[in-house]
Amino acid sequence: MATPSRLPPGHHLRRYRRGDRDQTLALIEADRLPGQPPATTRNLAEALAGRSVVDAGW
């Protein structure tokens, strides 16, 4: 992950917040490749907790 000292000028980094969920799911869905499972609230919660069973199958 990029550190604030290495970000390009004009870019800012902050921690994920609970209120970011819907926008994060939309971003993941927009970048999903054919054949990948859809992004769900449960899958996002598992990934944020460090337990992504979806990634284990790739």
Instruction: Provide the 8-state DSSP code for 27.
Output: H
Q: What is the pLDDT of residue 27?
A: 95
Q: What is the mean pLDDT of residues 26-54?
A: 89
Residue 53 phi, psi dihedral angles, 5° rounding: -70, -25
Mean pLDDT lowest for which of 10-14, 21-25, 26-30?
Answer: 10-14
Contact 17, 6 (CB under 8 A): no
Q: What is the pLDDT of residue 34?
A: 92
Q: What is the pLDDT of residue 12?
A: 87
CA 35 to chain centre: 18
Q: Where are the domains of the chain?
A: 10-56
